[in-house]
């Protein structure tokens, strides 16, 4: 089940035409899941995604710039669903921390997602056991 968060979140842009103090407000954030394939393959790690925000507040582009490929692609797709306030074009770097914890499970429990904004999202899930 996809949990949707509709909250206001302050984010700090990077490289906003030479101004680093203009806050960005997220109007709609979708809580990421832990990709099932990554869970089964026990892939975890930190992912950094560079996000371009249009003047309308929509995500014009999201490109994973570091981290495991499968998680990078998932985080970029998740960010494309976010909506920000209107304003000048902005660029952010947001870090996702995908973590697996013990004990292993045979089912896919919902992950625990923690937003530590302006620039971090943590997704915590359990390992999958073989045949699970």
Mean local confidence (pLDDT), 31-55: 93
Rg (CA), the chain: 15
Give residue-wise pLDDT tens across range 47-96. 999 999 999 999 999 999 999 999 999 999 999 999 998 999 999 999 99
Range 92-106 average pLDDT: 87
Query: If we measure between CA atoms, which residue out of 8, 31, 11, 30 comes closest to residue 22?
Result: 11
Domains, the chain, with CATH or none: 4-128 (3.30.2420.10)
Query: Cβ of 6: how many Cβ atoms within 10 Å?
Result: 10
Tokens of 12: 């700090």
What DSSP state is assigned to residue 50?
E
Residue scoring higher pLDDT (102 or 43)? 43
CA distances from 93 to 15, 34, 66, 87, 120 (A): 10, 20, 11, 18, 9
């Amino acid at each position: 089940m996809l949990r949707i968060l509709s909250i206001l979140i302050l984010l700090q842009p990077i490289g906003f035409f030479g101004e680093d103090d203009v806050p960005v407000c997220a109007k709609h954030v979708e809580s990421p899941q832990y990709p099932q394939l990554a869970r089964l393959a026990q892939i975890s790690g930190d992912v950094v995604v560079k996000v371009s925000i249009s003047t309308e507040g929509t995500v014009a582009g999201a490109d994973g710039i570091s981290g495991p490929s499968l998680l990078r692609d998932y985080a970029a797709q998740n960010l494309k669903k976010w909506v920000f306030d209107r304003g000048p074009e902005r660029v952010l770097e947001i870090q996702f921390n995908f973590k697996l914890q013990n004990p292993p499970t045979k089912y896919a429990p919902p992950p625990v997602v923690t937003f530590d904004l302006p620039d971090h999202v943590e997704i915590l899930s359990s390992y999958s056991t073989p045949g699970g």
